[in-house]
């Protein structure tokens, strides 16, 4: 396939893979996109199989029944699959690619070929070559926060000394109390300030890959990473929406740092702060949700990006920050040369917002 910018007049056939919170958000976005046509939906659960994609997405019937199985998707002959499931099946992904179906995914494991697991990379690249297709990983974080926005910030620079990306997420604003206390373990006693390194395995892969891609794109490659996780305790009780309480002295925030090193010191650093309350025993500068970007160099800047609010359910609203970059990237990825493609390989992704 040629690697050129998409032009007007073509409609791209899209299959959505999964119909969870992210997937249903993507369905609504595809349906409203002037250059895209939703032609299928792949689901995993039996209770969703056969149901109308539009009904699952909350927008009314579309006449598209959800299917279960990669061959059902191949038979639809889409230009692109938006792959947004929990976890991933490498056999399914390589089958799609080898059939000439491009894939855009929000999975963290496919951001940058040079930093991927070598065995996964080899299989994916072979499938891309066989089918003449490309795969592209994107989203909000990693994605917008670790590639798109940093690229904008270094645009006026000729010397970058350091970039730090601080992300802040108010967990109770978007996650239910049971998930907070039972799964994420907020409110539990913590004996040590540092996380078990094994807890970080799999969590940081997308950040490492995307920061590596950014470093290579600007010509300042990284030497390695320093990865660590920390806990903070509540300095006063915090009550969740169901009446349960995160007691004083229990775990109320987590911070994960992924520091890309150059010349033996942090050069490109991403720090995620997941908090239930800003009243913590550690000074992490919690000031609301969003990102704080800090650059040091010959044109230093500090830019804070905060989440706005809409009349939509907040959890669904937040899903758009991850789902929409994938939807907006479809034309560019379909037109790209075969292979594992980063945002730096593609023409600028322009969000086409006009009506059909």
Residue 36 belongs to domain with CATH number: 3.40.50.720
Kindly state whether residue 125 falls inside one of the protein's structural domains.
Answer: yes
Eight-state DSSP code of residue 158: S
Please state, in angstroms and rounded to a whole number, the distance separating the CA atoms of residues 193 and 24.
38
Q: What is the mean pLDDT of residues 228-239?
A: 95
**Which residue would you say has higher pLDDT here, 312 or 344?**
344
The answer on pLDDT for 313 being more than 90 is: no
Per-residue confidence band for 1, with pLDDT thresholds at 50, 70 and 90: very low
151 with 100, same domain: the answer is no
Kindly state whether residue 48 falls inside one of the protein's structural domains.
Answer: yes
Kindly state whether residue 116 falls inside one of the protein's structural domains.
Answer: yes
Kindly state whether residue 213 falls inside one of the protein's structural domains.
Answer: yes
Question: What would the DSSP string read from start to end of 66-98?
Answer: -B-SHHHHHHT--SEEEE--SS--HHHHHHHHH
Of 37-41, 211-215, 297-301, 316-320, the poorest mean pLDDT is in: 316-320
pTM of this prediction exceeds 0.95: no
So what's the pLDDT on residue 5?
61
153 with 284, same domain: the answer is yes
Kindly state whether residue 252 falls inside one of the protein's structural domains.
Answer: yes
240 with 283, same domain: the answer is yes
Decide if 333 contacts 5 (C-beta within 8 A): no
74 with 190, same domain: the answer is no
Of 199-208, 272-281, 293-302, the poorest mean pLDDT is in: 199-208
Please state, in angstroms and rounded to a whole number, the distance separating the CA atoms of residues 2 and 211.
27
Residue (of 290, 193, 178) closest to 233 by Cα position: 193
Give the residue numbers spanning the domain of 88.
12-138+329-341
103 with 20, same domain: the answer is yes
The answer on pLDDT for 4 being more than 70 is: no
129 with 96, same domain: the answer is yes
Decide if 349 contacts 329 (C-beta within 8 A): yes
Please state, in angstroms and rounded to a whole number, the distance separating the CA atoms of residues 17 and 325.
15
Burial class (CB in 10 A: 0-12, 13-18, 19+), 351: exposed
21 with 162, same domain: the answer is no
Per-residue confidence band for 256, with pLDDT thresholds at 50, 70 and 90: very high
Per-residue confidence band for 274, with pLDDT thresholds at 50, 70 and 90: very high
129 with 148, same domain: the answer is no
Per-residue confidence band for 100, with pLDDT thresholds at 50, 70 and 90: very high
End-to-end CA distance of the chain: 26
85 with 155, same domain: the answer is no
Number of domains the chain contains? 2
DSSP element (H, E) containing 326: helix 314-328
Kindly state whether residue 318 falls inside one of the protein's structural domains.
Answer: no
178-to-140, 172, 316 alpha-carbon distances in Å: 25, 10, 18
So what's the pLDDT on residue 8?
62
Kindly state whether residue 156 falls inside one of the protein's structural domains.
Answer: yes
Please state, in angstroms and rounded to a whole number, the distance separating the CA atoms of residues 93 and 83.
9
The answer on pLDDT for 354 being more than 90 is: no
So what's the pLDDT on residue 311?
87
Kindly state whether residue 274 falls inside one of the protein's structural domains.
Answer: yes
Of 45-49, 105-109, 123-127, the poorest mean pLDDT is in: 45-49
271 with 205, same domain: the answer is yes
Decide if 249 contacts 234 (C-beta within 8 A): yes
106 with 242, same domain: the answer is no
Per-residue confidence band for 244, with pLDDT thresholds at 50, 70 and 90: very high
The answer on pLDDT for 76 being more than 60 is: yes
Q: What angle do CA 179, 285, 196 make, to 5 degrees?
A: 50
The two beta strands, 265-275 and 251-262, are: antiparallel
């Amino acid at each position: 396939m040629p690697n050129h910018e998409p032009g007007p007049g073509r409609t791209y056939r899209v299959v959505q893979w999964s119909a969870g919170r992210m997937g249903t958000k993507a369905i609504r976005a595809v349906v409203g996109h002037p250059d895209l046509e939703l032609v299928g939906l792949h689901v995993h659960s039996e209770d969703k199989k056969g149901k109308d994609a539009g009904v699952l997405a909350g927008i009314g019937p579309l006449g598209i029944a959800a299917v279960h199985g990669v061959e059902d998707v191949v038979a639809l002959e889409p230009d692109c699959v938006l792959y947004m499931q929990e976890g991933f099946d490498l056999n399914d992904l390589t089958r799609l690619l080898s059939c000439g179906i491009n894939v855009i995914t929000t999975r963290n494991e496919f951001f940058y070929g040079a930093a991927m697991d070598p065995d996964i990379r080899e299989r994916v690249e072979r499938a891309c070559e066989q089918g003449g297709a490309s795969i592209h990983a994107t989203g909000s974080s990693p994605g917008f926060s670790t590639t798109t926005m940093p690229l904008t910030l270094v645009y006026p620079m000729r010397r970058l000394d350091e970039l730090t990306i601080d992300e802040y997420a108010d967990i109770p604003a978007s996650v239910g109390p049971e998930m907070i206390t039972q799964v994420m373990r907020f409110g539990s006693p913590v004996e040590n300030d540092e996380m078990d390194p094994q807890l970080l395995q799999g969590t940081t892969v997308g950040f490492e890959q995307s920061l590596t891609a950014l470093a290579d794109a600007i010509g300042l490659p990284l030497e390695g990473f320093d990865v660590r996780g920390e806990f903070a305790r509540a300095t006063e009780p915090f009550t969740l929406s169901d009446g349960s309480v995160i007691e004083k002295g229990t775990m109320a925030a987590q911070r994960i740092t992924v520091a890309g090193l150059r010349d033996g010191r942090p050069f490109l650093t991403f720090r995620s702060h997941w908090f239930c309350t800003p009243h913590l025993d550690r000074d992490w500068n919690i000031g609301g949700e969003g990102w704080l970007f800090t650059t040091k160099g010959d044109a230093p800047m500090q830019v804070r990006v905060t989440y706005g609010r809409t009349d939509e359910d907040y959890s669904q609203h937040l899903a758009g920050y991850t789902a929409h970059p994938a939807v907006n990237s479809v034309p560019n990825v379909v037109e790209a040369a075969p292979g594992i493609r980063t945002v730096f390989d593609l023409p600028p992704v322009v969000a086409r917002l006009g009506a059909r």
